[in-house]
């Protein structure tokens, strides 16, 4: 089937990035959130990011203007249901995702494909709470969406080939690369990345090194563009903890036990950049390590 319109549920960092690339690729986009302020902030962020692309001559001013004109915002889920493909990009909480899909079901068209941008939750389980598990799959973009070239495509046990091929065609049209992953906890990227971050937390927790030395060691010793603790702050410590819990619960292996220090930071509300404090304090001119 040909996808012409895309609904995006959740106007946060991932949702506005997905809306950005979809609109630039020529899709009509309906961006939905429960907060009008979040929708306004998302449109402003998309406009700013596209302006940056114009200044770097990555896109033309005309392309930006056309793309911004394709983005419609709404607080009403039924409007999202009229699109050909829906990407759920809400918080990494399974119950929240269930409620979103259950609320959508009465309003979607027979041909509409449902997808989730989840970074770790079972696609088969999410699909089972809908009326179309064969037209449901994981569509996991990397952050920041406009810059990162990879999209993980995850089939649930019931996902049909037509749905997979339709999503693969979208990835190609976005000029990104698809990595097909099996439906196991955290898929490919986060199955490898988040335990590394968790191990960095243990290295800090056990006093092997402080925040600055751990990040410097991995940047200079392993040629990583960001240190693992800096990256954790960028992702969000609550998201890192949620993924570690999915791995621990889903695979029942003690090597995936979340670091108690990571849990403590999340309990304190120190979630990283988005809360201005995490492994670094972002409230001043320069980030300062908190340990």
Would the annotation count 88 as a binding residue?
no
Return the residue matching tokens 């410097």: 216
Would the annotation count 255 as a binding residue?
no
Would the annotation count 12 as a binding residue?
yes
Q: Catalytic: 79?
A: no
Catalytic residue among 32, 140, 198, 230: 140
C-beta of residue 167 within 8 angstroms of C-beta of residue 187: no
Q: At what angle do helices 13-24 and 36-55 cross, to 10 degrees?
A: 50
> Rounded to an integer, what distance in angstroms lies between the CA atom of residue 259 and that of residue 287?
23
Would the annotation count 15 as a binding residue?
yes
> Rounded to an integer, what distance in angstroms lies between the CA atom of residue 125 and that of residue 103?
17
Would the annotation count 264 as a binding residue?
no
Would the annotation count 62 as a binding residue?
no
Catalytic residue among 5, 16, 190, 198: 190
Would the annotation count 226 as a binding residue?
no
Would the annotation count 172 as a binding residue?
no
> Rounded to an integer, what distance in angstroms lies between the CA atom of residue 167 and that of residue 241?
29
Catalytic residue among 16, 38, 119, 122: 119
Would the annotation count 143 as a binding residue?
yes
Q: Which of 262, 212, 213 is nearest to 235 (CA)?
A: 262
Q: Catalytic: 119?
A: yes
In b/e form, how buried is each residue of 148-182, taking b as 16+ CB within 10 angstroms? eeebbbbbbebbeeebbebbeebbeebebebeebe
Q: Give me the residues paired with residue 277 across strands.
A: 272, 281
Catalytic residue among 20, 116, 117, 152: 152
Q: Catalytic: 152?
A: yes
Would the annotation count 138 as a binding residue?
no
Q: How far is CA 64 from the centre of its chain?
A: 23
Would the annotation count 206 as a binding residue?
no
The tokens for 227 are 């240190």
Would the annotation count 92 as a binding residue?
yes
**Where does 70-137 have alpha helices with state H?**
77-80, 94-104, 123-127
Q: Catalytic: 190?
A: yes
Specify binding-site residues. Answer: 10-15, 33, 92, 97, 119, 143, 274
Specify binding-site residues for NAD(+). Answer: 10-15, 33, 92, 97, 119, 143, 274
Q: Tell me which residues are annotated as active site.
A: 119, 140, 152, 190
């Amino acid at each position: 089937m040909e996808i012409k319109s895309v609904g995006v549920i959740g106007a946060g960092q991932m949702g506005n990035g997905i809306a950005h690339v979809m609109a630039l690729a020529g899709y009509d986009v309906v961006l939905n959130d429960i907060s009008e302020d979040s929708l306004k902030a998302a449109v402003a962020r998309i406009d700013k990011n596209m302006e940056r692309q114009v200044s770097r001559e990555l896109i033309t001013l005309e392309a930006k203007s056309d793309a911004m004109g394709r983005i419609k915002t709404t607080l009403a889920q039924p409007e999202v249901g009229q699109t050909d493909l829906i990407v759920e990009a809400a918080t990494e909480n399974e119950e929240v995702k269930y409620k979103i899909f259950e609320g959508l079901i009465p309003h979607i068209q027979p041909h509409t494909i449902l997808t989730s941008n989840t970074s770790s939750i079972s696609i088969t389980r999410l699909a089972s709470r809908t009326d179309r598990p064969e037209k449901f799959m994981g569509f996991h973009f990397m952050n920041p969406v406009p810059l990162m070239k990879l999209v993980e495509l995850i089939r649930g046990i019931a996902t049909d080939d037509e749905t997979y091929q339709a999503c693969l065609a979208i990835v190609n049209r976005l000029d990104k690369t698809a990595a097909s992953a099996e439906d196991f906890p955290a898929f490919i990227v986060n199955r490898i990345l988040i335990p590394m971050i968790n191990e960095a937390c243990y290295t800090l927790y056990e006093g092997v090194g402080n925040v600055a030395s751990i990040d410097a060691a991995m940047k200079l010793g392993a040629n990583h563009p960001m240190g693992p603790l800096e990256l954790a702050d960028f992702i969000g410590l609550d998201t890192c903890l949620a993924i570690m819990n999915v791995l621990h619960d889903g695979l029942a292996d003690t090597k995936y036990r979340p670091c108690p220090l990571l849990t403590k930071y999340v309990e304190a509300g120190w979630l990283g950049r988005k809360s201005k404090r995490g492994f670094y304090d972002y409230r001043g001119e320069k980030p300062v390590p908190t340990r």
